[in-house]
Chain A
Amino acid sequence: MSAISREDVVHLAHLAHIEMSDAELDKMTGELDAIVGAIASVSEVASSDVPATSHPIPLTNVLREDTVGQTLSIDEVLLNAPDSDSDRFKVPAILDGE
């Protein structure tokens, strides 16, 4: 049984904001299914009494004093901008106007 359907991949590609052709979707579905099949074994040993580890080295309370530091100049801010207008970044419409 496949764990991952093509519809799943369509949905995931949408969530991840990656446009995919039909051919790519087909290929990705197969590969992902194989990978997930190979790694799903983790749930075998993950019993409820085992705590999760999110950070390999346990540190706590790494906090910064509330002191202002160096900001970027506007030239540095917009240095790599694909598009800008005066001192702001410019992006295409958020909503489809049609």
Chain B
Amino acid sequence: MNDLIKLSGTELAAKLRAGEVTSVQAVQAHLDRIAEVDGALNAFLHVNAEEALAVAAEVDAIRAAGGAEAQALHPLAGVPIAIKDLIVTKGQPTTAASKMLEGWMSPYDATVIEKIRAAKLPMLGKTNLDEFAMGSSTEHSAYGVTRNPWNLDRIPGGSGGGSAAAVASFEAPLALGTDTGGSIRQPGAVTGTVGVKPTYGAVSRYGAIAMASSLDQIGPVSRTVLDSAYLQELIGGHDPKDSTSLPKDLEGLVAAAEAGATGDLKGLRVGVIKELTGEGYQEGVQARFNESLELLKAAGAEIVEVSCPNFKYALGAYYLIMPSEVSSNLAKFDGVRFGQRVLPKEGPLTIERVMAATRAAGFGDEVKRRIILGTYALSAGYYDAYYGSAQKVRTLIQRDFDAAFEQADVLVSPTSPTVAFELGKNDNDPLAMYLNDVATIPANLAGVPGITVPGGLSEDLPVGIQFLAPAFEDARLYRAGAALEALLEKQWGHSLISQAPAIDSASIAQEA
């Protein structure tokens, strides 16, 4: 394995700036790694080698020429990145891991992609996900499951299992994810990586294929907290194309991560959410969580217990609001303007029947389930009881957060109640699958930011620790997250990801 791929994005950036390596070398090393292990992992749906190398060469040329243009390069220029295939890109197919969009080429770039192009980060390709980001395991992709680099028989989390697995397996130092109910944080937790869901509106959603508009947020995926801070600063900021985009940029994220890395948390009040521990959380997960709390306390943090009594309704509210918005957002996939068109096998050829046949063939089971559930929740006679009630629960959850943040600067919980489960385990039980998101969903409902950082292993699989902060206070996440990361790594004497086993590509090839 080429050592270049072991570097974090920030470390690689420093070497690029110092002229120790070129971006072309770095991109090629990652492309080689993808060629080596992605047959086993299936993290990538599309590899964008040619363009990535061209961008890398451009950055190298600018650096070699020196002068003002080289000075003006973004700190991450030349550092390769992988893009969740829910985010539209010119020049590469965007599928949302759905048959519906097989081969679809976007004529426009998402705002975050425009920023990445402007900063000259070579895009390695598009990563796998649960179809239209609906799932917690990446098993619901129309293009095959993604496997967890820690154990190829386990799920990499979802929906952003591809981005998390790519980063965890050193196929990419950085990736973009989207988080509607935990789709960045839960895969981060189960792959031993870092993932951040920024404050709702901190990153433009323009060009992220909408799942649930009032919950979706694009965010960074990386192996270190500092890398995520750099990446959020790059992709964040007001966008006039997104009406829900925050008017003011969030600043000081990198500085907060750097401050946190000193390991000093004096004066920080950390609230343990009573409702997000204990029952339902695996013993090993709870043990790692408790150890992290001890470390935080030792670093000067004040640990307080907070109660968020309405969190027990969060899952219900989420599974009403999300599918309702899904049912409307996914109506546009009808085989008229783009995407696949499928004709009915029999009967008259009317547009209505062609749409119904197209959607029957193009959507997978989980997508259909959510569309039907959302159609039900919004339909006449049920709106008040379901969608209306869920919106009220949303208010109650926001109030719970408000009260908790009176007592604490950040809140903390395990990111996921369990470590990565076996592939296929929840195939026939959608409800069990939904429970994976219990700790991550409240943040999406309330719009507040959350981060997951690696918290150790249980059953040889990673456990994630989640911090939550008030809206607009993303910097607090980076401070607390970087501190915990530094304290744990100091205790272990190494990073968690460095302990990931080698990927045995051959074993999967044989199984297949």
Contacts and interface: CB of A to CB of B under 8 A. Distances in A.
A93 B350 contact: yes
Contacts, number: 179
B359 A19 contact: yes
A15 B375 contact: yes
A91 B391 contact: no
Interface stretch (B24-32, B154-162, B337-345): B337-345
Q: How many interface residues does chain B have, given as a range?
A: 35 or more
A45 B313 contact: yes
A30 to B, nearest CB: 11
Contact of A50 (B105, B320, B335, B392): B392
A41 B313 contact: yes
B390 to A, nearest CB: 5
B471 A57 contact: yes
B445 interface: yes
B252 interface: no
Contacts of A53: 391-392, 394-395, 398
A8 B376 contact: yes
A24 B316 CA distance: 24
Interface string A56-93: 11010010100000001000110111110000010111
Nearest to B323: A35
A68 B434 CA distance: 44
B372 A93 contact: no
A38 B391 CA distance: 17
Contacts of A95: 350
> Of residues A15, A42, A52, A94, which shows the largest number of chain B Cβ atoms within 10 Å of its Cβ?
A42
A24 B4 CA distance: 49
B238 to A, nearest CB: 10
A79 B93 CA distance: 12
Tell me if A's interface is mostly helix, strand, loop or mixed: loop
A20 B107 contact: no
Contacts of A20: 360, 368
A40 B390 CA distance: 9
A52 B392 contact: yes
Given A39-B315, A45-B396, A54 B391 contact: yes
Given A12-B379, A39-B319, A57-B447, A80 B372 contact: no
A16 interface: yes
B316 A40 contact: yes
A72 B106 CA distance: 11
Nearest to B435: A38
A40 B376 CA distance: 12
Contacts of B395: 50-53
Of A20, A56, A79, most B-chain CB atoms within 10 Å: A56
B70 interface: no
A61 B358 CA distance: 38
A43 interface: yes
Interface string B349-375: 111111111011001000011011101
B446 A56 contact: yes
B248 to A, nearest CB: 11
Given A36-B376, A57-B201, A97-B348, 10 more contacts: A18-B356, A20-B360, A28-B372, A32-B373, A40-B385, A41-B316, A42-B386, A42-B392, A45-B396, A82-B341
18 contacts: A19-B360, A32-B369, A36-B373, A39-B319, A41-B316, A42-B316, A45-B310, A45-B313, A46-B390, A50-B395, A50-B396, A56-B215, A56-B446, A59-B246, A82-B341, A89-B337, A93-B349, A93-B351
Interface of B: 104-105, 107-108, 199-201, 214-215, 240, 243-244, 246-247, 310, 313, 315-317, 319-320, 327, 331, 334-341, 344, 348-357, 359-360, 363, 368-369, 371-373, 375-376, 379, 385-386, 388-396, 398, 430-431, 434, 444-447, 471
